[in-house]
Amino acid sequence: MFGNNTREDYVVLNYLHGQIMAGSGDPWGQRDARITRAAVARPFRTAFGEEIYGDVYLKAAALLDSIVNRVVFRDGNKRTAMAAAVLFLARNKQFIRFNRKEGEAFMWYVVLEHPKIEEIADWFRTHSSSRQIGISTP
């Protein structure tokens, strides 16, 4: 998920959005499939043979930024963007910890201030751990 398989990532992102919006009563669904595909492809773009977003935090930041600031969905963009970025990082063994208030404040900051990708990545770095916390395994 959220690798170089844009088609699969597109399906997963739409499914994730549907699960987040289920039961909310708010309108859901993507606005434009091209925008959605571009959002899931952005973290893996290259220029002159080099990755533009060189680590998992920059990739997660690019994904979050694309979903939120390109308004991929009819509603729930902030929720879906954060969930997608957290899921991407977890798949890459980086586990994010924050409380609801911190998450909401950060997402409003991203929407209103349009920080650089590096700033978003730094937020993920400071809130991450390579250990799962609070999850028991059998």
Is residue 46 in some structural domain?
A: yes
Is pLDDT of 135 > 90? no
Is residue 53 in some structural domain?
A: yes
Distance CA 112, CA 127 (A): 21
> What SS3 class is residue 76?
coil
Is residue 93 in some structural domain?
A: yes
Is residue 135 in some structural domain?
A: no
Q: What is the pLDDT of residue 1?
A: 58
Is pLDDT of 78 > 60? yes
Determine if the pTM surpasses 0.75. Answer: yes
**Range of the structural domain that residue 63 is part of:** 6-129
Is residue 136 in some structural domain?
A: no
CATH number for position 114: 1.20.120.1870
Please report which helix (H) or strand (E) contains residue 78, including its range: helix 77-91
- What is the number of domains present in the chain? 1
pLDDT tens column, 100-110:
999 999 999 99
pLDDT tens column, 31-62:
888 888 889 899 999 999 999 999 999 999 99
Please state the separation of Cα 32 from the chain's center in Å: 18
Is residue 138 in some structural domain?
A: no
